[in-house]
Structure 1
Amino acid sequence: AMVKANSNELADGDCLGRNAKDVRQAIDKIKKDYTAVLQQ
């Protein structure tokens, strides 16, 4: 049970890491789009 719980925690951590990366990429894209609009 301990090993399973630990592997689940690791899986959750991986998932959170991927989500955080996606969020950062989305924010970067929004910033770029916003900057492009301001420069028009």
Structure 2
Amino acid sequence: MTVSGEEVNALRLALAQPPPLHRLIVVVSCRAEEAAGLLFI
């Protein structure tokens, strides 16, 4: 399997800066855990 230069550049870009969607998922999951904690107390 060969990897083109464009794919390598895209991969480096993706690794260099995580996509906003990933950050959003992390934030939402943290908020969900806090909300669940409040509900179960």
Is the pair's TM-score, using the shorter chain for normalization, greater than 0.5?
yes
Q: After TM superposition, what 4+ stretches of structure 1 lie above 4 angstroms from structure 2?
A: none
TM-score normalised to the size of structure 2?
0.56
* Structure 1, unpaired ranges of 5+: none
The answer for unaligned runs of 5 or more in structure 2 is none
Query: How many residues end up aligned between the 2 structures?
Result: 30
TM-score normalised by L of structure 1: 0.57
RMSD: 1.4
Q: Which has the higher helix share?
A: 1
Same amino acid, percent of matched pairs = 7
